[in-house]
Structures are given as structure tokens and as C-alpha cells.
Amino acid sequence: MEITVSRKEQIEKTATALFKTKGFSATSMRDLANALGIEAASIYSHIKSKEEILQRVCFRMAQEFFEALDTAESAEATATERLKAAIAAHVQVLTKNTAASAVFLHEWRHLSEPFLGTYLAMRDKYEARFREIIRSGIANGEFTLPDEKFAVLTILSGLNWIHTWYKPEGKMTPDEIAENLSAMLLNGLTSTQEFTLPNTP
């Protein structure tokens, strides 16, 4: 079955790739038109500005992160299980579209108000979900950590570089990446830790 992609979707996909490679500021509407093979003036019949595309990418990705986290979390699970599930959910979203992930993580600074404030509030809310998991693990003795905020920022910082090196044809699947990262983040590099080896022919 052939999937028809609208012109607006084509514009957004092309712009996202350009934002990733050139950066939002350095990408002009003429660059976008040239990449699409159309006149620059015709783009405006589909979008108002390049920031509109940035807004669409950032807030769609934010929604995907929250939806994935909602699906992954279980109130009956231990803090360790919840954290592993949250990490796996985050990895799945990041690897689904690495170009959009790069734009979401690095180009959000170019959002204007009130969109910038909304984005930052959503980011804080998302980080708070991870902090709650860590906090519950500290409270019940599963985790031994001096600072839950530091732990969450370390975890998310480690995860958010995946888009720079992940390749769909690479040695590890998103599930294997999540499992190995969870093992490293939760247990360090001790010799007793078990890791999942990549699939090999």
C-alpha cells in the first residue's frame, strides 16, 4: 500500500533534515525551497515561517516522549523496573527519527515566546517524572544516590546523545541499546554486570 505524503509533510521532513545538518539559524527559506525543488514563494502557501516547522517538530516530539513514558510506566512495578522502562521508552522515541530528535534537543532555543516557555515547562515536567522514579527508589532503598536531580540529568544527558551515533543498520537494536544503557547507568562498570551482546550473523 502506497503512503501519500502531503506537501506540508514533505516540507517539514526536509526542513528537519536541514535544521539538523545546518542548524535552524543557518537554514533559510531559499535553502528549503532548493532542497524541495520548488520556488521559495510557494512554500508560504503551506507554512507561515520556518519557526512554525520548528514548533511542530519540538511539540510533536515532546508529545511522543510523554506518551511513550505513560505507556511504559506501571504503578505496580519497582522503581528499578520503572526506571528501566522509562529509559527504554526514551530510547525508542530518540531512535525512531534521529533528525527530529536532534532538532528537538538542540534547536529549541530558537523558539520564540510563548512557545519557548511552554517547551521549557514541558521539559521540566518530563524530568520531574524521572526524578519521581529516582526519589521513590531512594525512599525504598533500591537506589543509593546523594542527589536525585544530578542522577536524572546524568541519565538524560547520556541518553540524549544517542541520535548522534545510532544507525538502524547498526550492531544494536533500540531495545539492546536501552538494556545496555540501563545496565551501565544502574550498575556502573563492575565486572559482575551482564550486558546484552549485539546480534551477529
| DSSP-assigned letters across all residues of 2-71 | PPPPPHHHHHHHHHHHHHHHH-TTT--HHHHHHHHTS-HHHHTTT-S-HHHHHHHHHHHHHHHHHHHHHH
CATH number where 154 lies = 1.10.357.10
pTM of the predicted model as reported, rounded to 2 decimal places: 0.87
Contact (Cβ atoms closer than 8 angstroms) between residue 46 and residue 11: yes
Judge whether residue 200 has pLDDT over 50: no
Asked whether residue 68 is assigned to any structural domain, the reply reads: yes
Cβ–Cβ contacts within 10 Å for residue 4, how many? Answer: 5
Asked whether residue 73 is assigned to any structural domain, the reply reads: yes
Asked whether residue 199 is assigned to any structural domain, the reply reads: no
Residues 121-160 pLDDT 10s: 999 999 999 999 999 999 999 998 888 999 999 999 999 9
The three grid cell numbers given for residue 186, joined into one nine-digit string: 544502574
What per-residue confidence (pLDDT) applies to 3?
44
Q: Hey, is 191 helix, strand or coil? A: coil
Helices (H) and strands (E) in the chain, counts: 9, 0
Q: How many residues does the chain have?
A: 201
Between 128 and 45, name the one with better pLDDT: 128
Asked whether residue 102 is assigned to any structural domain, the reply reads: yes
Between 3-17, 40-54, 72-86, 131-145, the lowest mean confidence (pLDDT) is in 3-17
Asked whether residue 151 is assigned to any structural domain, the reply reads: yes
DSSP 155: H
Domain coverage including residue 161: 51-187
Total structural domains in the chain? 1
Asked whether residue 81 is assigned to any structural domain, the reply reads: yes
